Amino acid sequence: MVQRKAAAVAGLALLLVLAGCAHVTVHSTVNADGSVAEQTYQVNMSRTAYGYLEEAAEEDGYDSVEGSVLSEFNESEREQISYSEEYNGDTVTMTLSRTDFVPTADDGISVTTEDGELVYEDVNFVDEEAAARDGTEFSGSLTGGMSVDYYLTMPGEITDSNADVVDGNTAEWHESGSEAFNDNRIYARSEIPTFSNVPGFGAVGAVVAILATALVVLRRT
């Protein structure tokens, strides 16, 4: 799997499955202008798996897993990021949230405009070597304990997607085992909402129009 900075937490999944299992949950919300309002990665794993991450971070010269993860981002990007770790019994939960950013090629995410619609694609969960391993005992040992739940909210009605579930402007992907990384491309396209069909804009627009009219009348008196 190619590791990309937007999925810095998810990019550690290979080490996690070697140690046992991991559950990755992603929530992504897209603005009408193609920017990402918020994207959150949450990874649940055992303390044993987390220990592997600590060892890997130390070998790379970092004092902590957090330091290793955040090293993927530059200083300005870190201002948009929150990171936390929670310990509950034998389970460790890592959460990374990033807000208000325009995705680039390095993020593994793209939001483009095509035929008057927004097209969202996330390839962070595509294992480019999965085809060669698929069906082998090695492949099963690597991904057997892995699962991914991905939730996407687009700014308008979703018109096309490869999601498991689509409801209006939201889509969901649920994969486990080898399917979690075997060509698991996240894809959806949606309508681009206009101001007139944004919830609540009609009422706000009417108030603004009334105030503007009143201002004109006052200026004439």
Is 190 inside any structural domain? yes
Chain position carrying tokens 């005992």: 137
Q: Give me the CATH number covering residue 170.
A: 2.60.40
Name 148's Cβ contacts closer than 8 Å, sequence gap at least 6. 23, 24, 25, 26, 125, 173, 174, 175, 176, 180, 184
Name 37's Cβ contacts closer than 8 Å, sequence gap at least 6. 29, 30, 31, 99, 100
Range of the domain at 52: 5-195
Is 200 inside any structural domain? no
Q: How far is CA 14 from CA 100, 169, 173, in A?
A: 28, 32, 20
Is 48 inside any structural domain? yes
pLDDT tens, position by position, for the chain (221 residues)? 334 454 455 555 445 544 446 788 999 999 999 999 999 999 898 888 888 888 888 988 999 989 988 888 888 888 889 999 999 999 999 999 999 999 988 888 999 999 999 999 998 877 665 545 455 444 444 455 778 899 999 999 999 999 999 999 999 999 887 655 556 689 999 999 875 444 444 444 445 555 555 555 555 55
Chain position carrying tokens 């220990």: 51
Cβ-contact 194, 205 below 8 angstroms: no
Amino acid sitting at position 178: S
Is 28 inside any structural domain? yes
Q: Count the domains in the chain.
A: 1
What is the pTM for the complete model shown? 0.77
